[in-house]
Amino acid sequence: MLTLRALNGGYGQAAVVRDVNTEIGDGEIVALVGRNGMGKTTLLRTIFGLADRQGGEITFDGRPVPPKRPDVLARWGASLMPEDRGVFPALTVEENLTLATRKSFRPVVDPREVFPLLTERRRQLAGTLSGGQKQQLGIARALLAGQRLIVVDELTQGLQPSIVRDVVDALGQVAATGVAVLVVDQHPDQALDWCHRVLVMESGRLALDAPIGIDTRQRCHELLMLR
Protein backbone atom coordinates (compact mmCIF):
# COMPACT_ATOMS: atom_id res chain seq x y z
CA MET A 1 0.00 0.00 0.00
CA LEU A 2 2.25 2.83 1.27
CA THR A 3 6.00 2.47 0.79
CA LEU A 4 8.70 4.89 1.90
CA ARG A 5 12.23 4.49 0.54
CA ALA A 6 15.18 6.54 1.83
CA LEU A 7 12.74 9.35 2.61
CA ASN A 8 14.16 12.67 3.74
CA GLY A 9 12.03 15.68 4.56
CA GLY A 10 11.84 18.98 6.38
CA TYR A 11 11.33 22.66 5.73
CA GLY A 12 13.49 24.52 3.24
CA GLN A 13 17.08 23.51 3.90
CA ALA A 14 16.33 22.23 7.41
CA ALA A 15 16.34 18.42 7.44
CA VAL A 16 14.02 16.81 10.01
CA VAL A 17 13.26 13.35 8.60
CA ARG A 18 16.25 11.28 7.56
CA ASP A 19 16.48 8.06 5.53
CA VAL A 20 13.13 6.55 6.52
CA ASN A 21 12.34 3.15 5.02
CA THR A 22 9.10 1.33 5.80
CA GLU A 23 5.93 -0.12 4.34
CA ILE A 24 2.33 -0.12 5.58
CA GLY A 25 0.18 -2.89 4.19
CA ASP A 26 -3.52 -3.27 3.51
CA GLY A 27 -5.49 -3.60 6.73
CA GLU A 28 -2.49 -2.91 8.93
CA ILE A 29 -2.73 -0.64 11.97
CA VAL A 30 0.60 1.02 12.72
CA ALA A 31 1.55 3.27 15.63
CA LEU A 32 4.13 6.02 15.02
CA VAL A 33 5.59 7.04 18.36
CA GLY A 34 8.54 8.98 19.74
CA ARG A 35 9.42 11.74 22.14
CA ASN A 36 8.51 15.34 21.28
CA GLY A 37 10.58 16.85 18.50
CA MET A 38 11.68 13.53 17.00
CA GLY A 39 10.05 14.19 13.60
CA LYS A 40 6.74 12.31 13.72
CA THR A 41 4.56 15.16 12.47
CA THR A 42 7.11 16.17 9.84
CA LEU A 43 7.18 12.59 8.55
CA LEU A 44 3.40 12.65 8.09
CA ARG A 45 3.54 16.08 6.46
CA THR A 46 6.29 14.92 4.10
CA ILE A 47 4.27 11.87 3.07
CA PHE A 48 1.25 14.05 2.26
CA GLY A 49 3.22 16.77 0.47
CA LEU A 50 2.80 19.40 3.16
CA ALA A 51 6.52 19.52 4.02
CA ASP A 52 9.49 19.53 1.66
CA ARG A 53 10.62 16.15 0.40
CA GLN A 54 14.39 16.45 0.30
CA GLY A 55 15.08 13.00 -1.07
CA GLY A 56 13.76 9.49 -1.40
CA GLU A 57 10.59 7.98 -2.83
CA ILE A 58 6.99 7.45 -1.78
CA THR A 59 4.72 5.00 -3.56
CA PHE A 60 1.03 4.33 -2.94
CA ASP A 61 -0.48 1.14 -4.35
CA GLY A 62 2.64 0.91 -6.51
CA ARG A 63 2.22 4.41 -7.95
CA PRO A 64 4.87 7.09 -7.30
CA VAL A 65 3.60 10.00 -5.22
CA PRO A 66 4.90 13.36 -6.44
CA PRO A 67 6.26 15.83 -3.86
CA LYS A 68 4.28 18.90 -2.75
CA ARG A 69 1.03 17.50 -4.18
CA PRO A 70 -1.33 16.77 -1.25
CA ASP A 71 -4.21 16.51 -3.72
CA VAL A 72 -2.78 13.33 -5.24
CA LEU A 73 -2.99 11.13 -2.14
CA ALA A 74 -6.39 12.59 -1.33
CA ARG A 75 -7.63 11.67 -4.79
CA TRP A 76 -6.26 8.15 -4.39
CA GLY A 77 -8.19 7.57 -1.16
CA ALA A 78 -5.78 8.62 1.60
CA SER A 79 -6.82 10.94 4.43
CA LEU A 80 -4.82 12.85 7.02
CA MET A 81 -6.06 14.38 10.24
CA PRO A 82 -3.24 16.82 11.05
CA GLU A 83 -2.10 17.87 14.50
CA ASP A 84 -4.38 20.93 14.37
CA ARG A 85 -7.36 18.66 13.45
CA GLY A 86 -7.84 20.22 10.00
CA VAL A 87 -11.45 21.34 10.46
CA PHE A 88 -12.90 24.39 8.72
CA PRO A 89 -13.84 26.75 11.59
CA ALA A 90 -16.20 28.95 9.55
CA LEU A 91 -18.27 25.97 8.40
CA THR A 92 -20.81 24.00 10.40
CA VAL A 93 -20.13 20.51 11.67
CA GLU A 94 -22.36 19.03 8.98
CA GLU A 95 -20.69 21.08 6.24
CA ASN A 96 -17.30 19.82 7.41
CA LEU A 97 -18.53 16.23 7.20
CA THR A 98 -20.11 16.76 3.79
CA LEU A 99 -16.88 18.17 2.36
CA ALA A 100 -14.93 15.15 3.61
CA THR A 101 -17.36 12.58 2.18
CA ARG A 102 -16.04 10.76 -0.89
CA LYS A 103 -18.43 10.10 -3.75
CA SER A 104 -19.62 6.48 -3.97
CA PHE A 105 -17.76 5.54 -0.78
CA ARG A 106 -19.22 4.84 2.63
CA PRO A 107 -16.93 3.58 5.40
CA VAL A 108 -17.95 0.40 7.16
CA VAL A 109 -18.31 2.51 10.31
CA ASP A 110 -20.59 5.55 10.32
CA PRO A 111 -18.62 8.28 12.18
CA ARG A 112 -21.89 9.89 13.24
CA GLU A 113 -22.60 6.75 15.25
CA VAL A 114 -19.12 6.76 16.74
CA PHE A 115 -19.52 10.44 17.66
CA PRO A 116 -23.23 11.17 18.38
CA LEU A 117 -22.25 14.69 19.42
CA LEU A 118 -21.61 15.56 15.79
CA THR A 119 -25.28 14.99 14.98
CA GLU A 120 -26.42 16.94 18.04
CA ARG A 121 -24.21 19.88 16.99
CA ARG A 122 -24.51 19.52 13.23
CA ARG A 123 -25.54 23.17 12.76
CA GLN A 124 -22.85 24.57 15.07
CA LEU A 125 -19.83 26.32 13.58
CA ALA A 126 -16.78 24.07 13.92
CA GLY A 127 -14.71 26.97 15.22
CA THR A 128 -16.90 27.21 18.32
CA LEU A 129 -16.40 23.56 19.35
CA SER A 130 -14.17 22.60 22.27
CA GLY A 131 -10.81 20.96 21.63
CA GLY A 132 -12.13 17.47 22.26
CA GLN A 133 -15.16 18.10 20.05
CA LYS A 134 -12.92 19.31 17.22
CA GLN A 135 -10.90 16.13 17.68
CA GLN A 136 -14.04 14.06 17.15
CA LEU A 137 -14.89 16.05 14.03
CA GLY A 138 -11.36 15.72 12.66
CA ILE A 139 -11.33 11.94 13.13
CA ALA A 140 -14.80 11.67 11.59
CA ARG A 141 -13.60 13.57 8.53
CA ALA A 142 -10.62 11.22 8.21
CA LEU A 143 -12.92 8.18 8.40
CA LEU A 144 -15.18 9.58 5.68
CA ALA A 145 -12.30 10.37 3.31
CA GLY A 146 -9.96 7.43 3.99
CA GLN A 147 -11.01 4.83 1.47
CA ARG A 148 -7.52 3.23 1.33
CA LEU A 149 -5.44 4.87 4.07
CA ILE A 150 -6.28 6.80 7.25
CA VAL A 151 -3.56 8.78 9.02
CA VAL A 152 -4.23 10.55 12.31
CA ASP A 153 -1.76 12.79 14.15
CA GLU A 154 -2.31 12.70 17.94
CA LEU A 155 -5.25 10.30 17.90
CA THR A 156 -6.39 10.52 21.53
CA GLN A 157 -5.71 14.21 22.17
CA GLY A 158 -8.58 15.73 24.17
CA LEU A 159 -10.75 12.59 24.08
CA GLN A 160 -12.39 10.94 27.07
CA PRO A 161 -11.34 7.30 27.69
CA SER A 162 -14.79 6.00 26.70
CA ILE A 163 -14.59 7.83 23.36
CA VAL A 164 -11.05 6.54 22.80
CA ARG A 165 -12.37 2.98 23.13
CA ASP A 166 -15.04 3.72 20.52
CA VAL A 167 -12.46 5.23 18.15
CA VAL A 168 -10.11 2.27 18.54
CA ASP A 169 -12.97 -0.13 17.85
CA ALA A 170 -14.02 1.87 14.77
CA LEU A 171 -10.49 1.89 13.36
CA GLY A 172 -10.25 -1.85 13.95
CA GLN A 173 -13.44 -2.42 11.96
CA VAL A 174 -12.21 -0.17 9.16
CA ALA A 175 -8.83 -1.94 9.03
CA ALA A 176 -10.61 -5.30 8.80
CA THR A 177 -11.95 -4.19 5.40
CA GLY A 178 -8.39 -3.61 4.11
CA VAL A 179 -7.93 0.08 4.92
CA ALA A 180 -4.45 0.84 6.28
CA VAL A 181 -4.23 2.95 9.44
CA LEU A 182 -1.29 4.98 10.72
CA VAL A 183 -1.64 6.86 14.01
CA VAL A 184 0.51 9.08 16.18
CA ASP A 185 -0.52 8.92 19.84
CA GLN A 186 0.58 11.00 22.81
CA HIS A 187 0.09 7.85 24.92
CA PRO A 188 2.43 5.38 23.18
CA ASP A 189 2.04 2.64 25.78
CA GLN A 190 -1.70 2.67 25.12
CA ALA A 191 -1.19 2.44 21.35
CA LEU A 192 0.85 -0.72 21.79
CA ASP A 193 -2.27 -2.44 23.16
CA TRP A 194 -4.21 -2.29 19.90
CA CYS A 195 -1.89 -1.61 16.97
CA HIS A 196 -0.31 -4.37 14.88
CA ARG A 197 3.10 -2.76 14.48
CA VAL A 198 5.07 0.14 15.92
CA LEU A 199 7.47 2.66 14.40
CA VAL A 200 9.66 4.54 16.88
CA MET A 201 11.25 7.77 15.69
CA GLU A 202 14.44 9.10 17.20
CA SER A 203 16.19 12.20 15.84
CA GLY A 204 14.30 12.01 12.56
CA ARG A 205 15.09 8.34 11.90
CA LEU A 206 13.27 5.09 12.57
CA ALA A 207 14.93 3.52 15.58
CA LEU A 208 12.47 0.61 15.59
CA ASP A 209 10.04 -0.91 13.09
CA ALA A 210 8.57 -4.13 14.45
CA PRO A 211 5.37 -6.09 15.11
CA ILE A 212 3.92 -5.71 18.58
CA GLY A 213 5.27 -8.31 21.01
CA ILE A 214 6.91 -8.61 24.41
CA ASP A 215 10.37 -7.83 23.06
CA THR A 216 9.01 -4.91 21.05
CA ARG A 217 7.31 -3.44 24.10
CA GLN A 218 10.51 -3.65 26.10
CA ARG A 219 12.51 -1.99 23.32
CA CYS A 220 9.88 0.77 23.00
CA HIS A 221 10.07 1.40 26.71
CA GLU A 222 13.85 1.72 26.48
CA LEU A 223 13.73 4.10 23.52
CA LEU A 224 10.93 6.24 24.93
CA MET A 225 12.05 5.93 28.56
CA LEU A 226 8.57 4.80 29.62
CA ARG A 227 8.02 3.53 33.16
Taking only the tens place, the pLDDT of each residue in 8-35 is: 999 998 999 999 999 999 999 999 999 9
Q: Stretch 91-99: mean pLDDT, rounded?
A: 97
What sections of the chain are H helices per DSSP? 40-47, 70-75, 93-100, 111-114, 117-120, 131-145, 161-175, 188-191, 214-224
d(C-alpha 10, C-alpha 111), whole Å: 33
The answer to whether 196 and 30 have CB atoms below 8 angstroms apart is yes
Grade residue 214 by pLDDT with cuts at 50, 70 and 90. confident
86: DSSP letter: -
Total residues found in the chain within this entry? 227
Average pLDDT, the chain: 95
The answer to whether 152 and 81 have CB atoms below 8 angstroms apart is yes
Q: Where are the domains of the chain?
A: 2-224
pLDDT single digits (tens) 140-196: 999 999 999 999 999 999 999 999 999 999 999 999 999 999 999 988 888 899 999
* CATH no., domain 2-224: 3.40.50.300
Distances (CA, A) of 89 to 98, 113, 119, 158: 14, 22, 17, 18
Question: Going by DSSP bridges, is the β-strand pair 205-211/78-81 parallel, antiparallel, or unpaired?
Answer: unpaired
Residue 226 is predicted with a pLDDT of: 60
